């Protein structure tokens, strides 16, 4: 296992753990106001300090992790759930009008500046976590469709697929039983990368006020609140930003590490 895999897995599990623990325990109630104790820098009682309402930043970061992860994970889920079958279908019907339709549709979604469309969707249907998920999820579909199709196409040429066809299996069954398990590694790696992009996208949307709405804490929202106070309370901006960086960096390293680890060719080359 490579260093990037270990570092990435540790950072990612740290964040996941914080999010999971936040369901049962946070140092303070994340929504509890304490105006007299506002804007404290990090100290022994409040490890990450307090915000302008005296809320405990550490608790808010923990619960915010939950928001970020939920939004990004569901968005990746949408992308996979729709993109992978589309990619498998396109590969199984290579060269047909269906393949053409799916791939042209993909190109079209790809050509849209995703953030602009996310803003359009949330602007029209209202800001909120659900709409943020949909906006981010839509742009995950072509990513997974394309990568699945590409990998599946080369598999269809292989002999074990020919054997399966000779034994009488239909295209749908072959796709599900033989192609899908063989592209799973690739999908896991891409899923990790899209997950990290989703975290960044969620932060951006909630920073401009189009993501999860108060009182649900979210890292992007915390940064937006911090903006006017950055000169006298820099920790308000520093800490949520570092939380985002740790998460995204962790997931990217994990993705890179997994790619190397799961790809047997690279493993042999290294050994």
* Chain contacts with another protein (rule: CB under 8 A): 104, 107-108, 111-117, 119-121, 123-125, 196, 200, 203-204, 207-208, 220, 223, 226-227, 230-231, 234, 237-238, 240-241, 244-245, 248-249, 252-253
CB of 248 to another protein, least distance (A): 4
When the beta carbons of 18 and 223 are compared against another protein, the nearer one is: 223
Measured from the CB of residue 8, what is the shortest distance to another protein in angstroms?
10
Toward another protein, which CB reaches closer, 183 or 226?
Answer: 226
What would the two tokens of residue 102 be? 């799916």
Cis peptide before 215 (omega within 30 of 0): yes
Note whether 254 and 8 are within 8 A (CB): yes
Rg (CA), the chain: 22
Task: Report in angstroms how near the CB of residue 76 gets to another protein at its nearest.
Answer: 17
> Which is closer to another protein, CB of 94 or CB of 158?
94
Nearer to another protein, 183 or 222 (CB): 222
Residue 128 DSSP one-character state: S
- Residue whose C-alpha is closest to residue 251's, from 198, 213, 204: 198
Please report how close the Cβ of residue 33 comes to another protein at its closest, in angstroms: 24
Residue ranges of alpha helices (H) inside 93-179 are 97-111, 114-125, 129-138, 141-156, 159-166, 171-174
């Amino acid at each position: 296992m490579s260093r990037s895999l270990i570092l990435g897995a540790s950072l990612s599990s740290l964040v996941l753990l914080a999010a999971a623990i936040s369901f049962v325990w946070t140092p303070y109630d994340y929504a509890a106001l304490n105006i007299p104790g506002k804007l404290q820098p990090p100290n022994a009682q409040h490890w990450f300090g307090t915000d302008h309402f005296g809320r405990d930043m550490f608790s808010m970061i923990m619960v915010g992790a939950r928001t970020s992860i939920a939004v990004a994970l569901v968005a990746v889920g949408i992308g996979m759930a729709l993109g992978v079958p589309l990619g498998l279908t396109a590969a199984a019907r290579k060269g047909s009008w269906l393949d053409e339709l799916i791939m042209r549709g993909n190109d079209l979604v790809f050509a849209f500046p995703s953030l602009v469309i996310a803003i359009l969707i949330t602007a029209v249907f209202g800001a909120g976590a659900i709409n943020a998920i949909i906006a981010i999820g839509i742009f995950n579909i072509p990513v997974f469709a394309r990568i699945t199709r590409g990998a599946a196409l080369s598999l269809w040429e292989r002999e074990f697929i020919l054997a399966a066809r000779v034994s009488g299996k239909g295209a749908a069954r072959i796709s599900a039983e033989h192609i899908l398990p063989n592209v799973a590694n690739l999908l896991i790696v891409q899923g990790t990368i899209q997950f990290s992009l989703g975290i960044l996208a969620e932060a951006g949307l909630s920073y401009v006020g189009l993501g999860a709405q108060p009182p649900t804490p979210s890292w992007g929202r915390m940064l937006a609140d911090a903006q006017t106070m950055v000169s006298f309370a820099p920790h308000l901006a520093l800490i949520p930003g570092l939380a985002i960086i740790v998460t995204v960096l962790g997931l990217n390293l994990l993705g890179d590490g997994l790619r190397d680890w799961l790809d047997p060719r690279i493993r042999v080359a290294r050994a």
